[in-house]
Structure 1
């Protein structure tokens, strides 16, 4: 049977005879299970060493391009910088192109300006112009990984992030459990409807609440920035006196909490996303109920690894949506 390594190489790695290795590779009878395990471990070791050889002395420059509130980009930047040394012996550096608000044209321009990049981690609007910009990068040999929100109509090599639809359904479940029999309305806040991930969260949330009779009031296009969000939330609360719960898809939670307090309104349930500095404080103070969180360092590691895999520097491994954690004041991780 053909194999990616010569029998002699596997025998040297395992310390077994070539005849024994040959029997294992060809599934012949009379071989003990522990011997089979030794051969498999030898092959795994050779795979790992081959990967290290491909990485040895190589330099990679990764671009992180994101339109997102600064509190999130600061947290993700720290996660990327913490993970880069893990790819030694390769030397991986990152450049960051980060801004809080803007139109699609700004994103397209930023992607078009990239030079000398070995790969891009991208959080962007799901718009045709963005998909075309991604296609141009990929066509020039630069792999693109979308992060937290996908652009599936593009030729990006993969998506890293949570199952956004499932996250929305999880938020609805928590809201329903905490509100119980109360007929309270729910406010859902989005940063911008052009982000596909936020739309998927909203669809999941609304579908899980269908039949509950609860009114769902949407506030959007704040870019998740507190200064913009507060006025929008104040107007929504004044127009909807039954609202006693919040599902924050896009952030701006300090402003949302402040709006309730300014109107002397009770917020009985507040479910947010991302364990950034603001949400950690609000959670600790009991001003929000729970945070749907995923490990940013694991995200960063997976995104960079996906780029290196696409460049042939690492063996290909299948990726799955990142598990989501429900964080309360009593199980906050020390690091994020």
Structure 2
């Protein structure tokens, strides 16, 4: 089939002129987003060679707003987006990372306002703050938004991508209850920020399972680290001084090394069951040393890939998959199935 015939078929099917199709293919501009989406949709339906066709499209700029890579999970997420830029090059979409301070919602709202007119899409992970929801909703009509890892349900987002945080919290509750057994005991919960929807949902799931199935396990307190590792160690140390009888710690965020140091300093490492998230190199070692008992690990590479896939579908550049699952799977690691090296 000749190029001319293919473009004519697309024009006819999409209900636009041949010149409009030509403008989209050759990036000449002057085509509305709605018309461009129609052209791309029918190009896909008519089985045009997508790689050849996409090579003529304008490059889309996708802003990714997330925490600093000082947090190991967000370092892995940063690397995932870098790798996805290469593996998804034919989509003509490039992710650009912007780091935000989760303790400064006003600053993040200003960043959203600053970048809104210079990007084609936005992927964001941030606390659930009305200022951020308002800032995102203001631009959501023209800027497709995907929330990642933790949700902002009222921000006008296109989709949420990430693990089911409430289910993860329930899994931790089941593990904690079984590890502590019939004797049970008092348990501490450590959150990064209560305003992180993901952390709130983890806590809710955890509490629900202990209440339903393990009443012998009593939650003593919920502590907050502000996503600062050193603070996590400090608040746990203070709690253990007041309540050395604590038998379980669920850390839903960062700071596991600092918490481990506090436990070791008090000689409680053989007494306390500790469960956390994300299998980093340091947490792998804590598992092997028996200080951590279990790690719930999500897949940042898959989450980055799926977020970009959803935006690609929005722009008619990817495969349209009905019922695309936005919740990503997670794994449970204990000492016996802990991998010996970082997954590539």
Compute the TM-score of the two structures, normalised by the length of structure 2: 0.78
Cα gap change, 1:278 to 1:100, in 2 (>3 Å)? farther
Cα gap change, 1:52 to 1:265, in 2 (>3 Å)? farther
Flag structure 2 segments of 5+ consecutive residues without an equivalent.
Answer: 1-5, 10-43
CA distance in 2, matches of 1:52, 1:251: 44
Moved more, 208-217 or 156-165: 208-217
Question: CA-atom RMSD, angstroms?
Answer: 2.5
CA-CA distance at 1:46 after TM superposition: 5.5
CA distance in 2, matches of 1:283, 1:248: 14
CA-CA distance at 1:210 after TM superposition: 0.4
Flag structure 1 segments of 5+ consecutive residues without an equivalent.
Answer: 1-5, 10-43
Which residue number in structure 2 is paired with residue 299 of structure 1? 303
CA-CA distance at 1:72 after TM superposition: 2.0
**Deviation per residue, 1:220-251 (Å, 9 max, x gap):** 33123222112111111122222121111112
Cα gap change, 1:147 to 1:218, in 2 (>3 Å)? farther
Please say if 1:309 is aligned against 2:313.
yes
CA distance in 1, matches of 2:203, 2:108: 23
CA-CA distance at 1:324 after TM superposition: 1.4
8 Å contact from structure 2 (residues 188, 249) kept in 1: yes
CA-CA distance at 1:52 after TM superposition: 6.3
CA-CA distance at 1:100 after TM superposition: 5.0
**Deviation per residue, 1:106-136 (Å, 9 max, x gap):** 2211211114212111111112211111112
Matches within 5 A, 1:234-273: 234-266=237-269, 267-273=271-277
Cα gap change, 1:280 to 1:206, in 2 (>3 Å)? same
CA-CA distance at 1:331 after TM superposition: 2.8
Which residue number in structure 1 is paired with residue 210 of structure 2? 209
Cα gap change, 1:303 to 1:239, in 2 (>3 Å)? same
Question: What SS is found at the alignment partner of 1:89?
Answer: helix
CA distance in 1, matches of 2:278, 2:52: 34
Cα gap change, 1:307 to 1:219, in 2 (>3 Å)? same
Cα gap change, 1:119 to 1:55, in 2 (>3 Å)? farther
CA-CA distance at 1:178 after TM superposition: 1.1
Question: What SS is found at the alignment partner of 1:216?
Answer: strand
Count of residues in Structure 1 that have an aligned counterpart in Structure 2: 295
CA distance in 1, matches of 2:52, 2:337: 37
CA-CA distance at 1:319 after TM superposition: 2.3
Moved more, 142-151 or 271-280: 271-280
Cα gap change, 1:296 to 1:51, in 2 (>3 Å)? same
CA-CA distance at 1:219 after TM superposition: 4.1
Question: What SS is found at the alignment partner of 2:150?
Answer: coil
Which residue number in structure 1 is paired with residue 330 of structure 2? 324
CA-CA distance at 1:165 after TM superposition: 0.8
8 Å contact from structure 1 (residues 219, 236) kept in 2: no
Compute the TM-score of the two structures, normalised by the length of structure 1: 0.80
8 Å contact from structure 1 (residues 58, 90) kept in 2: no
Cα gap change, 1:332 to 1:142, in 2 (>3 Å)? farther
CA distance in 1, matches of 2:281, 2:191: 19
